[in-house]
Amino acid sequence: MPYLFTSESVSEGHPDKVADQISDNLVDHFLAFDPSSKVACETLVTTGQVVLAGEVKSSTYLDVQTLARDVIERIGYTKSEYMFEAQSCGVLSAIHEQSPDINQGVERTKKEDQGAGDQGMMFGYATNETENYMPLALDLSHRILQELAAIRKAGKKMKYLRPDSKSQVTIEYDDNHKPVRIDSIVVSTQHDDFDEDEQMLAQIKKDVISIVIPKVKKGLKKSIQKLFTEDITFHVNPTGKFVIGGPHGDTGLTGRKIIVDTYGGKGAHGGGAFSGKDPSKVDRSAAYATRHIAKNLVAAGVASEILVQVSYAIGVAKPTNIYINTYGSAKVKMTDAQIAKKVEKIFDMRPYAIETRLKLRKPIYSDTAAYGHMGRPSEKKELTFKDGSGKIKTVKVETFTWEKLDYVAKVKKAFKIK
């Protein structure tokens, strides 16, 4: 029987995402100047105020206030009427040194024996329903907000847009779990107060449908474009006007959008947030590694849909388990447990091996902090950073390495797939 599945996304101007981006900007700057830095930074944003807290072990000094303001300005909170503005908001830092009790469980004489920074379980997921092996509802939700942000920053159309926004997409699936149509799209976007309420809301809805959605469709393959029928129900700012938003409308905290950050409710989530953490925290690094495994397995043809779980004990290098669920979609004549045994031999899941394989001790995390940590193209970039003394450093990085299909050949060989 056909069923509906929904996923949501939030924009870079959403208060929780503002917090994530500030936290990851700090992580990147610490790693740029001291790749061995241990970082766990939390951010709170509210009306006219930013609070930074957390634990850091690093040889570098940063001007964290300036780094927070840089992020806020880049997002677009640059007007006093937003009640949260880059240069006038207060920034309070309560960052202190990492506990030596935690650090002793991570660092080892041999780097290969590096222990996990915490206990816990992490999940990775992939499906072949989209080109980037992501769930379709979440992929479309991200794309809508990315287009909305691009339009806002270009400043040529929809000039009333403000930074805070959310989207939600509901997909109808058939009995074979294939998407057949888009049932509904929800977009709530912050805006200037530019007309009478009824006319203003009508204009925003018209612009979302006639400007934003066509831009989203244009970037999709034809089979997905066909899902955009005339029968889609659009809810645009369904509560009415949305002038008060951002950190003035809602307090934002690092790590409160973990489902948006991953798979939109598909697969599973271990509960650990990503932003603000260096890669010794397996909440982050192992979640990326399991996505890398799942994506390469699906791309290699092991199954149409795969969930990978890994778990750790704090201070211990070897995972306590690796689990695979193919949801009955396996294309190889093996049980999920047998697939897991193969995976364990192909992918070294010790924390140091993950860091090395995916090049995670580079300042690559700011890009992940909005519009999802998964499903984004890997790119080589040259980035510039400034420390607290004014020293400037340029670093060559490769982003989203866990999205690369660099293990497909190894997987095919191991599973004897032609």
Pick the CATH number of 3-10+136-249 from 3.30.300.10, 3.90.45.10, 2.40.40.20, 3.40.109.10: 3.30.300.10
Strands of the 321-325 sheet, one edge to the other: 120-127, 305-312, 321-325
Q: Which two tokens stand for residue 142?
A: 């991200």
pLDDT number for residue 114: 85
Among residues 391, 367, 360, 401, which one has the least CA distance to residue 31?
Answer: 360
- Which band of pLDDT confidence, cut at 50, 70 and 90, is reported for residue 107? low
- Asked whether residue 109 carries a pLDDT value surpassing 70, the answer given is no
Binding residues for ATP are: 14, 164-166, 241-242, 250, 256-257, 273, 277
Bridge partners of residue 46, in order along the sequence? 49
- Asked whether residue 103 carries a pLDDT value surpassing 60, the answer given is no
Q: Do domains 3-10+136-249 and 16-100 have the same CATH topology?
A: yes
Q: What is the mean pLDDT of the chain?
A: 96
pLDDT above 70: percentage of residues in the chain: 97
CATH code for residues 16-100: 3.30.300.10
- Which band of pLDDT confidence, cut at 50, 70 and 90, is reported for residue 287? very high
- Which band of pLDDT confidence, cut at 50, 70 and 90, is reported for residue 105? low
Are residues 373 and 365 in contact, defined by beta-carbon separation less than 8 angstroms? no
pLDDT number for residue 128: 97
Q: What is the pTM of this model?
A: 0.96
Binding residues are: 14, 16, 42, 55, 98, 164-166, 241-242, 250, 256-257, 273, 277, 281
Q: CA 105 to CA 109: how far, in whole Å?
A: 12
Q: Where are the domains of the chain?
A: 3-10+136-249, 16-100, 120-128+255-415
What are the tens digits of pLDDT across the range 133-189? 999 999 999 999 999 999 999 999 999 999 999 999 999 999 999 999 999 999 999
Binding residues for Mg(2+) are: 16
- Fold designation for 120-128+255-415: GMP Synthetase; Chain A, domain 3 (3.30.300)
Among residues 322, 357, 312, which one has the least CA distance to residue 342?
Answer: 322
Binding residues for L-methionine are: 55, 98, 250, 281
pLDDT number for residue 372: 98
Q: Which position has the token pair 């970039």? A: 381
Residue type, 69: R
Binding residues for K(+) are: 42
Are residues 393 and 384 in contact, defined by beta-carbon separation less than 8 angstroms? yes
- Asked whether residue 101 carries a pLDDT value surpassing 80, the answer given is no
Are residues 51 and 92 in contact, defined by beta-carbon separation less than 8 angstroms? yes
Among residues 23, 28, 98, which one has the least CA distance to residue 57?
Answer: 98
Bridge partners of residue 398, in order along the sequence? 380
Taking CA atoms, 412 is separated from 74, 155, 258, 343, in Å, by 43, 48, 32, 12
What are the tens digits of pLDDT across the range 179-218? 999 999 999 999 999 999 999 999 999 999 999 999 999 9
